[in-house]
Structure 1
Amino acid sequence: MKVLIAIIIICVANVTGATQVVLKNVNYEGIVDDLIKEAQEITIRTANALQLQYKIIVVEPTNQVDSAVQSIEDRREESPKCVEVKDPDVQIVVTSLHDEINVCGAIAAKTSAGIMNDINAATQQIVFDGYDVLKLYQKCKNYKNSILKSSCYAKLSVKVTLYIKNSRRSINTIKGANHRVPAVFSEADECTHKAADLAITELDDIHTEIVSCINENK
């Protein structure tokens, strides 16, 4: 809201020529704060979305396989020998799963890094350009000479208008990055869960063989 009001005030000032008088009333700190806060909120949502996707893609399938491995491990008390003979097979399945997850996640991780780089660049524009706006604003306020002050505020009106325009573009970039998250991970999600399903099937087969071994040796 502060940004919209500022745009209106700047437009009025430029039209009426009352630049010095009107632009003194613009809340420059509020403009910069609002834009930074908006960018931060979207960035946090994007980071949370990336974290959630990581859990879905990597943590969930890994936990499912870990449960299958644990069910085999629970049989060790019943028959250490029956389980021990299958330890190499279990290790092969688990290692293969980890390799598959690494392959599945490689592209997603790279794209995820690209998303965060885009967000960082956009955020830096909003923060550092905002700092420049406020620095010029302080300079304008400190001028005692009315001509210099008026000239400074005229420059400030141009600078803040460009800042708002560029910051809106940066915020749209951040929003766009947020919308890219689900699409980035959909393929990796399918890949890791498919690998986990295969691993669980193989571990279930191993478990069945262990149970048969235990029953035969009772």
Structure 2
Amino acid sequence: MKFAAVIILTLFVASGWTQPLDLGIPAQLDAQVRSVVDEMADIGKSTGEALVHQYEEIVLEPQHELEDALDQLESRRQESPECVAAEDGEIARIVDAAHEDLHSCGMVAAHTSAEIASDVNAATQQLVFGGYSLGRTYNKCNSYKNSVLKQSCMAKFYMQTTVYLVSARSSIKTIRKSTSERIPAVFTDGNVCTHSASSQAVQGLQEISSHIDACVSRRR
């Protein structure tokens, strides 16, 4: 099961965009901008951690269950090689079907997880770039020598800052609500899908174990 794309994305979200911003705007506004960027970065970090943890439960746990059941059958090969060999075809069929189902379930979870990580990452980038845009506007205003132009530019800057902060708070609220709903949904759907596939396979392998028991009894 390959979830490399999810892991890379989530780790990128978890670690990215936390570098200090150098905006060059008034200290009070600078603190507010940094606050919203830091808050979004925290959402990114928690999102990454949650998705990686879910990967382990959705994919690795059922895979280990299947491997344990298969190991139990293989451990009987030395005891009764003929009886186990007689079931090799059915064992291979069950395991191949389980791997196909696990892969299918995992790909759906991976795709959805990647979308979540991408959305959080995009929102974080938007806030960072918006902050730098404020810095550029402020520096442009300060470059004016004409007091009227400078005053007009500063009015635009403060309006731009107000819009940015209101929009940022709204964006954070939306992303936080979205991730709080979407992440559990990925886990619920993916977990049911993969564990159902592994449980069905384990049950099939247990039936084969019963067949091996019967074979061993007949040979005594």
Name the CA distance, whole Å, in 2 between partners of 1:111 and 1:73: 36
> Contact 1:118 / 1:177 at 8 angstroms: preserved in 2?
no
Name the CA distance, whole Å, in 1 between partners of 2:80 and 2:28: 76
CA drift of 1:130 comes to: 1.1
Name the CA distance, whole Å, in 2 between partners of 1:141 and 1:80: 85
User: What's the secondary structure of 1:77's corresponding residue?
Assistant: coil
Deviation larger for 191-200 or 157-166:
191-200
CA drift of 1:120 comes to: 2.8
Deviation larger for 128-137 or 47-56:
47-56
1:200 to 177, 199, 202: 202
Matched, 1:34 2:35: yes
Aligned residues: 195
1:186 aligns with: 188
Q: Deviations over 1:72-106 (max 9, x none)?
A: 11222223333233222111111111222233344
Name the CA distance, whole Å, in 2 between partners of 1:25 and 1:188: 48
Matched, 1:68 2:69: yes
> Contact 1:119 / 1:177 at 8 angstroms: preserved in 2?
no
Name the CA distance, whole Å, in 2 between partners of 1:151 and 1:49: 47
Deviation larger for 198-207 or 43-52:
43-52
Deviation larger for 91-100 or 110-119:
110-119
Matched, 1:57 2:42: no
User: Any unmatched runs of 5+ in structure 2?
Assistant: 1-24
Q: Deviations over 1:109-137 (max 9, x none)?
A: 33333323322332222111111012222
Q: Deviations over 1:160-212 (max 9, x none)?
A: 11111121122123202321211233133222222211111111111232344
Q: Normalized against structure 2, the TM-score is what?
A: 0.77
CA drift of 1:217 comes to: 4.4
Matching residue's letter, 1:167? A
Aligned counterparts, 1:1-218, within 5 A: 25-179=26-180, 180-214=182-216, 216-217=218-219
Name the CA distance, whole Å, in 2 between partners of 1:76 and 1:183: 42
Name the CA distance, whole Å, in 1 between partners of 2:141 and 2:98: 63
> Contact 1:69 / 1:203 at 8 angstroms: preserved in 2?
yes
Q: Deviations over 1:1-25 (max 9, x none)?
A: xxxxxxxxxxxxxxxxxxxxxxx75
Name the CA distance, whole Å, in 2 between partners of 1:31 and 1:183: 33
1:10 aligns with: none
CA drift of 1:157 comes to: 0.1
Q: Percent identity?
A: 39
Matching residue's letter, 1:186? T
Matching residue's letter, 1:27? Q
Q: Normalized against structure 1, the TM-score is what?
A: 0.78
Matching residue's letter, 1:204? Q
Matching residue's letter, 1:32? V
Computed over aligned residues only, the root mean square deviation of the Cα atoms, in angstroms, reads 2.3
Q: Deviations over 1:33-87 (max 9, x none)?
A: 2211110111111122222222222211111111000111122222333323322
Name the CA distance, whole Å, in 2 between partners of 1:215 and 1:143: 96
Matching residue's letter, 2:72? S
